[in-house]
Structure 1
């Protein structure tokens, strides 16, 4: 009996040690290309592992969803190295992935000045972009009719998103407020604001029921990608 108990304990110890040594961590890719304002990193890990990712000196926690994980990294005009770590029972596994650099819309300071200049020249009362912002993704302008969200990295506006409640498209005054800001912003980043807005209006009017995206609009090297939810329209602006 004693030999059987000893053998059983030994087997359990072997299984526990084997579980610790088999700490798992994978990523779906080794290099990710941003889409819109972020890159989406996905993978799998041991369900018991604590997960983090590190960019430079900054470390952030990642939710382990029963062995699956996903997190987003703001796009940048420089290539980024991301260290993904899994820890469990004193063991650590690390994976490195690269986030490709993207072309920015331009210097944030210069674009802000240009945006304000267009408003003044056209005698418009629309809100101006804030002159200074911290690095990261922030709401730059927020009204009941629209929100302009920007990704600022290294002094550059990497990308922007117009967030428009669908009710805005049904109210004349709100539509005009959004249309003014949209046209001015488009002109600021070098696109033909009038042409883009006409194409945008055409595509949204022809949107079929259940459709969640429309064809990309490109003007002078500036790309507009549009997505829909039941209550909100998202327009991602990048180069």
Structure 2
């Protein structure tokens, strides 16, 4: 089983990150305590994903933070990313695992109890569970599950889990109380005037929970 620190997981959004750019936002966030950075850009083609991903990999080098690519298998492989994250409507998990090999991290989005129970721990390394709240950063998201729903899915899911969907620094305690291993944030870091300080605030709250 791969060792994963999911505690503070940044999902990059090109629009929200426009003021600083995704690469600089990621650098600042990792300096502030982000452990995983996911490159998500639904409008980018594979070539652009590779260019951005290589720049991210360079800026994250030596930090210990992991780089995950959303959806694009070819880009994840070409970048030499640490992992790939896919949704339920994307490539299926056995095919994804066959493509990326045994060593790359594979994450899967999970929105219902049935999907949580169906996760195969021999293939998938972690699940992104949510959305906890409605969020404008993903227009086609499923019905929000709230913290009670998060706790139910976490209990059922056989792999490590990271909560996602409208989460901010103030939600850290509720996320960990529900049993999740971390929280994924977008607008709580991307688009803030000081991404490093915003990340540090969340990291500080996580440290309080962990003791």
Larger relative helix fraction: 2
Report which of the two has the higher share of strand: 1
TM range (shorter): under 0.3
What TM-score, normalized to structure 2? Answer: 0.28
Higher relative contact order structure (alpha carbons within 8 Å, sequence separation ≥ 6): 2
TM-score (norm 1): 0.25
Query: Which structure is larger by alpha-carbon Rg, 1 or 2?
Result: 1
